[in-house]
């Protein structure tokens, strides 16, 4: 009886598989593949094509020449986790209530207490990965995730069939057995097996991606490759570091050779994936979106990381250096190649954009709030987006200088509300990209309008506010108190 059941089951399985293969393959093979590449902490000027005078990125530069490059692309937050949650949900960080990097800095003596916020991606969300999976795609996440402490928060529980190296950590881990931390194996990461000694994490991850492409070339796939590069600790292969030592001159703006080597590791990974797509004949049927999760990290003056000039400040702060990022979108068989687009775009746009470019519609996606806009018509027909402003809200403190703020970019203007000092700053980015002159007095109408829009938006997304801290100790008195 048992035997018959097994045989019957086997025959049925073969029949079902046979049927589904013939019906699935025709319709699904025509669907374009999607590769979303997110670099960690890559600044706006950190690529050759975006004007670096040291870092080299020939593969990414070439991708830009075959696609479109955005000059006013913004991350939805100045730190990692909120932007990442926004990308996979299409929602503003304030709407997700994932408003700081997980788990955030603690500032018990600060002027304000930060509100309770979600330290994970909610299980309720219908993510971009789930949308692709339901549309028949094989979905795979590679690299950093940083959206929750528990396994239930990790990629395999948010719509990814495959998860390699995505877990709670926001940077390469400390391996407790060896006491080493960083990009060289052993990794101490429960979602990737350690490799041979000297193996570099980003090389390994790009090999995992191309193996996945090899194994899934006959079906549509969605690859979510979120590199750990170029986040600290700054580590790279020595030959790459040495290459840049002679290239730094007295006048060079970008000066960190380790960081340069990490950008090159990133570029190598992108090049390897593109070559594999070409080798398999898939490049002309694959959409590639390349971006970053926040602006470049400046670091301490004694230990500088990158330089976002002409933008002001960097990661962790609301000025343009903290939010303006490189973004490139390649769509196959498009006549639009090598152009740049100046319209402001933001992280939440990727979800609806990739869905539309792939020709996928989803009732479940439609039923939930999506703050992002599809960029498909902007890219292909230069149709302006139906949106006149983008917003930020960060009720937190950050070690790179960020204090609780809200902000709005409206046309060429950017307004920043600083809760710590109870002040506003207004900049005209068209002639002051470095945000050096506060023009509130010159543009009172814009100031009032933007203040109102910002307030209305905060109500719409149910933004949470800071509250006065009864334990507040002024900075000068803090040292004594802590002693």
Residue 316's closest CA among 298, 336, 290, 341?
298
* Smaller CB separation from Ca ion, 84 or 276: 84
* Smaller CB separation from Ca ion, 266 or 294: 294
Q: How far apart are CA 341 and CA 361, in angstroms?
A: 26
425 forms part of the interface with Ca ion (CB under 5 A)? no
Residue 294's closest CA among 118, 78, 47?
78
Listed in sequence order, the residues at least 6 apart from 246 whose beta carbon sits closer than 8 Å to its beta carbon are none
Place of tokens 């916020």: 117
Does residue 352 sit in helix, strand or coil?
helix
DSSP state of 184: B
Binding-site size for Ca ion (CB under 5 A) equals: 5
Shortest Å, Cβ 354 to Ca ion:
20
Q: Tokens at residue 168, please?
A: 């709670």
41 forms part of the interface with Ca ion (CB under 5 A)? yes
Residues shown for the chain: 483
> By beta-carbon distance, which residue lies closest to Ca ion?
80
Q: Which stretch binds Ca ion (CB under 5 A): 23-31, 294-302, 404-412, 468-476?
A: 294-302
Listed in sequence order, the residues at least 6 apart from 269 whose beta carbon sits closer than 8 Å to its beta carbon are 202, 203, 205, 206, 209, 225, 227, 229
Candidate residues 294, 306, 331, 365; the one interacting with Ca ion per rule CB under 5 A = 294
Contact characters 242-281, Ca ion, x per CB under 5 A: ----------------------------------------
* Smaller CB separation from Ca ion, 85 or 135: 85
* Smaller CB separation from Ca ion, 167 or 457: 167
Where is 71: in which H helix or E strand? Answer: strand 68-74
Q: Which stretch binds Ca ion (CB under 5 A): 32-40, 48-56, 295-303, 351-359?
A: 32-40
Shortest Å, Cβ 166 to Ca ion:
14
Does residue 309 sit in helix, strand or coil?
coil
Candidate residues 37, 63, 80, 454; the one interacting with Ca ion per rule CB under 5 A = 80
40 forms part of the interface with Ca ion (CB under 5 A)? yes
Q: How far apart are CA 110 and CA 95, in angstroms?
A: 25
Residue-by-residue DSSP string for 32-85: PEEEEEEETT--TT-SGGGT-SS---HHHHHHHHHSEEEEEEE-SSSSHHHHHH
Q: Which stretch binds Ca ion (CB under 5 A): 77-85, 138-146, 180-188, 282-290?
A: 77-85
Candidate residues 130, 208, 264, 293; the one interacting with Ca ion per rule CB under 5 A = 293
* Smaller CB separation from Ca ion, 41 or 317: 41
Shortest Å, Cβ 80 to Ca ion:
4
* Smaller CB separation from Ca ion, 75 or 417: 75
Residue-by-residue DSSP string for 251-265: T-S---HHHHHHHHH
* Smaller CB separation from Ca ion, 216 or 224: 224
Shortest Å, Cβ 126 to Ca ion:
24
**How big is the chain by its Cα radius of gyration, in Å?**
23
Shortest Å, Cβ 58 to Ca ion:
24
297 forms part of the interface with Ca ion (CB under 5 A)? no
317 forms part of the interface with Ca ion (CB under 5 A)? no
Does residue 292 sit in helix, strand or coil?
strand
Q: Tokens at residue 60, please?
A: 């990414």
Q: Which residues bind Ca ion (CB under 5 A)?
A: 40-41, 80, 293-294
């Amino acid at each position: 009886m048992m035997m018959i059941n097994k045989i019957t089951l086997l025959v049925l399985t073969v029949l079902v598989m046979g049927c589904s293969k013939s019906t699935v393959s025709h319709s699904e093979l025509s669907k374009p593949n999607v590769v979303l590449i997110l670099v960690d902490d890559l600044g706006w000027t950190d690529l050759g094509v975006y004007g670096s005078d040291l870092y080299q990125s020939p593969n990414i530069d070439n991708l830009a020449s075959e696609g479109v490059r955005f000059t006013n692309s913004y991350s939805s937050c100045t730190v990692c986790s909120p932007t990442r949650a926004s990308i996979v949900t299409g929602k503003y960080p304030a709407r997700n209530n994932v408003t700081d990097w997980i788990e955030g800095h603690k500032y018990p003596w600060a002027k304000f207490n930060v509100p309770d916020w979600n330290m994970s991606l909610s299980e309720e969300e219908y993510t971009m990965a789930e949308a692709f999976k339901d549309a028949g795609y094989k979905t795979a996440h590679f690299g950093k995730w940083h959206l929750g402490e528990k396994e239930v928060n990790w990629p395999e529980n948010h719509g990814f069939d495959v998860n390699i190296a995505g877990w709670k950590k926001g940077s390469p881990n400390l391996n407790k057995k060896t006491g080493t931390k960083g990009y060289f194996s052993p990794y101490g990461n429960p979602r990737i097996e350690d490799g041979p000694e000297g193996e570099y994490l980003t090389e390994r991850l790009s090999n995992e991606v191309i193996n996945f492409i090899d194994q899934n070339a006959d079906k549509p796939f969605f690859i979510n490759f979120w590199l750990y590069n170029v986040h600290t600790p700054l580590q790279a292969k020595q030959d790459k570091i040495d290459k840049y030592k002679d290239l730094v001159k007295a006048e060079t703006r970008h000066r960190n050779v380790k960081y340069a080597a990490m950008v090159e590791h990133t570029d190598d990974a992108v090049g390897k994936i593109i070559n594999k797509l070409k080798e398999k004949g898939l490049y002309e049927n694959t959409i590639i979106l390349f971006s970053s999760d926040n602006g470049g990290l400046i670091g301490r003056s004694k230990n500088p990381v990158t330089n976002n000039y002409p933008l002001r400040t960097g990661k962790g702060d609301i000025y343009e250096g903290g939010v303006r990022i490189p973004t490139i979108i390649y769509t196959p068989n498009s006549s639009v190649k090598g152009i740049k687009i100046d319209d402001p775009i933001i992280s939440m746009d990727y979800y609806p954009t990739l869905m539309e470019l792939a020709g996928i519609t989803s009732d479940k996606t439609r039923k939930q709030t999506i703050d992002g806009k599809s960029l498909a018509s902007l890219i292909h027909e230069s149709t302006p987006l139906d949106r006149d402003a983008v917003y930020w809200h960060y009720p937190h403190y950050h070690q790179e200088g960020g204090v609780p703020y809200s902000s709005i970019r409206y046309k060429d203007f950017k307004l920043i509300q600083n809760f710590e000092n109870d002040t506003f700053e207004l900049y005209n980015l068209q002639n002051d990209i470095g945000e050096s002159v506060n023009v509130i007095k010159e543009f009172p109408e814009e100031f009032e309008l933007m203040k109102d829009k910002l307030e209305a938006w905060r109500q719409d997304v149910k933004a949470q506010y800071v509250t006065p801290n009864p334990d507040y100790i002024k900075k000068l008195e803090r040292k004594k108190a802590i002693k």
